[in-house]
Amino acid sequence: MTDTTPRLSVAMRLRNNFLTGLVICAPIAITIWLTWTFIHWADSWVKPYIPNRYNPESYLKFAVPGFGLLIAIVVITMIGFLGKNLIGRSIVNFGESILNRTPLVRTIYKSLKQIFETALKEKSSSFNRAGLIEYPSAGLWSVVFIATDAKGEVASKFDSMGRDMVACFLPPTPVPTAGFLVFVPREKIVFLDMSTEDAAKLIISVGLVTPPERTATLLSTVEKQKKKSKK
- Per the CB < 8 A criterion, the answer to whether 218 and 175 are in contact is no
How confident is the prediction for the chain on average, in pLDDT?
81
Sorting pLDDT into bands at 50, 70 and 90, what band is 60? confident
Distance (Å, rounded) from C-alpha 69 to C-alpha 40? 8
- Per the CB < 8 A criterion, the answer to whether 181 and 167 are in contact is yes
Q: How many helices (H) and strands (E) does the chain have?
A: 7, 5
- Residue 145's H or E segment, with its range, is strand 141-149
Better pLDDT: 124 or 55: 55
Question: At residue 182, what is the residue type?
Answer: V
Distance (Å, rounded) from C-alpha 222 to C-alpha 114? 40
| Range 179-191 average pLDDT | 92
Distance (Å, rounded) from C-alpha 57 to C-alpha 41? 17
DSSP, collapsed to helix, strand or coil, labels residue 179 as: coil
Question: At residue 64, what is the residue type?
Answer: V
Distance (Å, rounded) from C-alpha 188 to C-alpha 168? 12
- Report cis status (omega within 30 of 0) of the bond before 212: no
pLDDT tens for 6-54 read: 566 888 888 888 888 888 898 899 889 999 999 999 999 998 888 888 8
Contacts of 154 (CB under 8 A, 6+ apart): 165, 183
